[in-house]
Amino acid sequence: MIAISNVSVPENEFKERVERYLDVAEEKNLDALVVYSNYSSNGEIRYLAGYTYQPVWMCASTLILSRGSEPSLLTDRPWNLDKVREETWIKDVRACGGWLDRPGPPGTVMSLSRSTGSVLREKKLEKVNIGIVGFDIMPAMFYEHLKEEVPQAKFVDVTESFEKLKMVRSETEIQLIRNVAKIASIGMETGLKSVKEGKTEADIASATMDAMMANGAEVIFAIWVVSGEATQVQYRTPTYSNRKLQKGDMLWIDFGIIRQGYFGDISRTTIVGPSTEQQRKLCEVVFKSHQDAVKMIKPGAKIADVVKAARRVPHESGYKEYVMGDYLGHGIGVTLDDYPVIVPDEPTEIKANMVLNIDPKLFVPGVGGARLEDTYLVTPEGVEKLITCKQRWW
Amino acid sequence: MIAISNVSVPENEFKERVERYLDVAEEKNLDALVVYSNYSSNGEIRYLAGYTYQPVWMCASTLILSRGSEPSLLTDRPWNLDKVREETWIKDVRACGGWLDRPGPPGTVMSLSRSTGSVLREKKLEKVNIGIVGFDIMPAMFYEHLKEEVPQAKFVDVTESFEKLKMVRSETEIQLIRNVAKIASIGMETGLKSVKEGKTEADIASATMDAMMANGAEVIFAIWVVSGEATQVQYRTPTYSNRKLQKGDMLWIDFGIIRQGYFGDISRTTIVGPSTEQQRKLCEVVFKSHQDAVKMIKPGAKIADVVKAARRVPHESGYKEYVMGDYLGHGIGVTLDDYPVIVPDEPTEIKANMVLNIDPKLFVPGVGGARLEDTYLVTPEGVEKLITCKQRWW
């Protein structure tokens, strides 16, 4: 098992984060915040409360913040309440009934919503301005019931501006991201080394995942191992198959993992030899695009300029129409596709201690698909590559 | 690789499903339906449109149904539009901008919502009664924008009653569930056979997953391998760890997989010997509870009576307070926790061709946790067990 530093976010840091959120709430004339997270996107609750649940299937929670009271964390898992209390620094942790109140898939939604309303009333926040963080994932059913619970409250969607408060990472967070990047590196390296004619995509996926599980990945939430013609599509279902690798196949691996709530996300391309000149050229163009983008990253630089740099080589090499979308990458931390979003015209200024994923891709009909995604820490001078796995595998 | 029958839902069956939904809509005085699905819950779109996306990370779609027009399927993956068209029988498939319109996590939500509104206007459905299926997962942000798009439409949440239209499975669906149950069986068997003192929970998880990947599982969306004291909690994060198995540990495995959009979900308990009498008793009580529940299942029986039967032995054996919640199980098909919900007082009458998961669990402090989950097809006489893996592993 590889060495992973034993680190966790100290209570003080959580408290500072909550204070920062409340400061911004005050600036926006909000008296309280309702932060909603669920299994598919629990970054905000992890960031503020330290409570990390499985990013799979069911379970949601709300965190209620206001200047006049202790933070309250509501969970819909009454049967695991002790475990939740162990994980979080928050003192006031309560369980709503969840499926016990009203069974069936909407049961959790309804009872968490009702409990949230009742905490707002208890804290005398039923007639004030309340910012909602997580309006893009909070179910409409939840929101409609919440409004009925506290009909005189005025709710405002503040999701985007509050989620952006996480963009610059603390020293502890950077260490946690380093840890998960180490695990991702060893997984990718193991997977790529196992690529061989006659093996199936599922075999490669197994090798990759086994290495990460043995080395401390807590969740592998997706893995793509895609070979041959199928590489020409951005994503596909299923993410791996029992197709046997053939001579001359292009192949890419892309996966996402989590440890202690922090995300790893990388991809690499290889060729099951012998490769053609066209295939190698494709890989090289993606590689140069990646390198050119990374060279632009430093404190004070603009995201838009990073994207511009990444586009030059593909455009000049005749691949303009095969560049996949405008999305060159994203921040990464307690969520996968975090801010800043790396797209054209994005005015965000890069700052030290941001962590950025650069992910150029080209899908060329008749040739194949190539992608190269890596994670970088912004340093005072430029970047530090957090993934140790080499980039060229062709 | 095990033999899996090659079957897919014929176009006619999809059309019949849509007709049935429209009939029920008419009965409820609804002029149209907006069906919303996303990566975390895509059962409805899979059921009606045949489009199966990755149940991980991003991507959502809406299906717009009305008597006067062809069904329209909207996807937020413009870069994969051809692939979506290949998968679905629906003729009118359109991509909204997704992240291309407004990058950032809420981008998809906003642009899919806008496109849905614009299709409703195009079909002259902007002033009618519209039922929403998926109100428990549709983001509040989506709903608020949709209302702005068609302010004169009247929306009604009809999620639960429409989702219940899937409870009785067709012959094709039963075959698809048989397939996934076969894969789950071989995974569980392989995992349990690999249990041995000194191995880690991650080792067991790897063995289980490798077997399923090699045999055609398309997505393994979660796997729990939990040993020792940790078994006493319903769920835990991480779902497996690098803890080494020790003599006398209880251990349970629980996982969820998908093939062709259909779910498998089973769990088993074992003991890393030598076992104590207390541990074996615990396992036997769960086993008896399971058996007693299954004996009650047949067409015409009430769900409530199944739950009652499952409770008798645990209550009489002194385990009453350790029975985990009221949730004894669930239907299973294109969603994991599907209808009927198997809970006390549930009036639903069991019908032939329902597929039910029975899942009693006991978590006893100081002893351990035991669970036994299996999938059953309701036959005219009783049940057929779809999972071949044996139930007693202690």
pLDDT in tens, A44-78: 999 999 998 765 567 889 999 999 999 999 998 77
Q: Chain B residues with CB inside 8 Å of A52's CB? A: 237
Q: Is the dihedral of CA A223, A229, A231, A234 positive or negative?
A: negative
Interface test with A, best of B6, B45, B56 (most A CBs within 10 A): B56
Say how many CB pairs under 8 Å bridge A and B. Answer: 194
Interchain contact, A233 vs B159, CB within 8 Å: no
Q: Closest partner residue to B80 among A132, A214, A234, by Cβ? A: A234
Interchain contact, A56 vs B256, CB within 8 Å: yes
Q: Chain A residues with CB inside 8 Å of B240's CB? A: 213
pLDDT at B79: 77
Q: In chain A, where does the domain assigned CATH 3.40.350.10 lie? A: 11-166
Interchain contact, B141 vs A136, CB within 8 Å: yes
Interchain contact, B213 vs A234, CB within 8 Å: no
Interchain contact, B327 vs A103, CB within 8 Å: yes
**Integer-rounded Cα radius of gyration of chain A:** 23
pLDDT at B326: 75
| Alpha-carbon dihedral B46, B341, B26, B40, rounded to 10 degrees | -30
Q: Are strands A262-271 and A250-259 parallel, antiparallel or unpaired?
A: antiparallel
Nearest to B190 by CA among B208, B202, B178: B208
CATH of domain B11-166: 3.40.350.10
* CB half-sphere exposure, B77, CA atoms < 13 A: 21
CATH tag for A171-385 (out of 1.10.3720.10, 3.30.1120.10, 3.40.50.720, 3.90.230.10) = 3.90.230.10
Successive 10-residue mean pLDDT values, chain A, 394 residues: 90 98 98 93 93 73 96 87 91 81 71 95 98 95 97 96 96 98 98 98 98 95 94 85 97 95 96 96 98 98 96 94 84 92 91 98 93 98 97 98
Joined tokens for residue B116: 């849905």
Interchain contact, A137 vs B142, CB within 8 Å: no
d(CA B167, CA B174): 12
Q: B88, B50 in Cβ contact below 8 A?
A: yes
pLDDT at A98: 63
pLDDT digits (tens, 9 = 90+) for B13-58: 999 999 999 999 999 999 999 999 988 788 999 999 999 876 556 7
Q: In chain A, where does the domain assigned CATH 3.90.230.10 lie? A: 171-385
Report the run of H or E that residue A373 belongs to, with start and end. none
Q: Closest partner residue to B109 among A136, A202, A210, by Cβ? A: A136
pLDDT digits (tens, 9 = 90+) for A255-289: 999 999 999 999 999 999 899 999 999 999 999 99
pLDDT digits (tens, 9 = 90+) for A121-148: 999 999 999 999 999 999 999 999 999 9
d(CA B180, CA B188): 12
Q: B233, B363 in Cβ contact below 8 A?
A: yes
Give the orientation angle of helix A277-296 with respect to helix A303-316, to 10 degrees: 160
pLDDT digits (tens, 9 = 90+) for A95-109: 887 665 555 667 778
Joined tokens for residue B310: 């499952």
Q: Closest partner residue to B140 among A1, A135, A339, by Cβ? A: A135
Interchain contact, B136 vs A141, CB within 8 Å: yes
* CB half-sphere exposure, A112, CA atoms < 13 A: 34
List the single residue in B with minimal CA-CA distance to A1.
Answer: B242
pLDDT at A103: 59
Interchain contact, A256 vs B209, CB within 8 Å: no
Q: Chain A residues with CB inside 8 Å of B259's CB? A: 238
One-letter amino acid for residue B71 of the chain: P
List the single residue in A with minimal CA-CA distance to B222.
Answer: A56
